[in-house]
Amino acid sequence: MRKNIVAGNWKMNNDLPLSEALISDLKRQTKTSNAEVMIAPTFTNLWHAFEATRHDDIEVIAQNMHFAENGAYTGEVSADMLKSVGINTVILGHSERRAYFNEDDAILAKKVDQALSKDLRVIFCFGEELADRKAANHEAVVESQIKNALFHLDASAFKNIVLAYEPVWAIGTGETASPEQAQDMHKFIRKTLQDKYGNQVADDMTILYGGSVKPANAKEIFSKPDVDGGLIGGAALKAEDFYAIVNAF
């Protein structure tokens, strides 16, 4: 089912005391929209965050996981480990993972398979770089990222997938894709799904936009018919700003 979702990706910010403080601030905010609210603290804060929000309308999600079941992967975290601390959703394929940790489509396909096999919902991220957009290659890049990591799946798998279009040039730069650019790409993504899986999968897919979403621009971006919410970085680190975005629907 298509939903409105606003998810805060805290990235490598907030140690435990700061995470506790931000969660306390978040719990004081009022939600006036129908959006599902998610926060993605770093691994070390997940258990605390889950416990602290157990009775609130906030889902705690993970920023990453490994594709293996368990074993000799020093420094990595498995799907079972996430589930054991109450996590049911994981972000995969963020451009920072792709750029700094060499996560390619083949690795991401394995991560997606592992997450789904453990009944984790996946927020799958992708997006073009500035050079791709300047060369008018952005649709081809996004299409290949989606196809290579997801198109081996059956249609039924897509009920546990949320897509997040995050143009790399708009992440942390203050430069947002215009609402029209976001809408055009989201429409293209839905069409790509429709061509492969048909109307039902395409219509039901929740597609988030990420990249310098702020209280000042969220309403206009979310007003576009194929934009179902946002994946928020910097603005998710202040409770008032984050809820201004949540309430922009």
Per CB under 6 A, residues contacting ligand 13P are 9, 94, 166, 171-172, 210-213, 231-235
* Residue whose CB is less far from ligand 13P, 86 or 215: 215
Q: How far is the CB of 215 from ligand 13P (least distance, A)?
A: 12
Which residue number places its CB atom closest to ligand 13P? 233
Pair 60, 87: CB distance under 8 Å: yes
**Cβ atoms within 10 A of the Cβ of 87, count?**
24
* Residue whose CB is less far from ligand 13P, 170 or 201: 170
Q: How far is the CB of 48 from ligand 13P (least distance, A)?
A: 21
Strands 121-126 and 89-92: parallel
Q: Is 94 one of the catalytic residues?
A: yes
Closest CA to 8 of 231, 219, 243, 216: 231
What would the DSSP string read from start to end of 173-223? Answer: SS-PPPHHHHHHHHHHHHHHHHHHH-HHHHHH--EEEESS--HHHHHHHHT
* Residue whose CB is less far from ligand 13P, 146 or 201: 146
Q: How far is the CB of 236 from ligand 13P (least distance, A)?
A: 7
What are residue 62's phi and psi, to 5 degrees?
-100, 155
Given the residues 36, 59, 66, 94, select the one marked as catalytic: 94
Q: Where are the beta strands (DSSP E) in the chain?
A: 5-9, 36-40, 59-60, 89-92, 121-126, 161-165, 207-210, 229-232
* Residue whose CB is less far from ligand 13P, 194 or 206: 206
Q: Where are the beta strands (DSSP E) in 43-106?
A: 59-60, 89-92
Q: How far is the CB of 229 from ligand 13P (least distance, A)?
A: 12
Which residues are annotated as catalytic? 94, 166
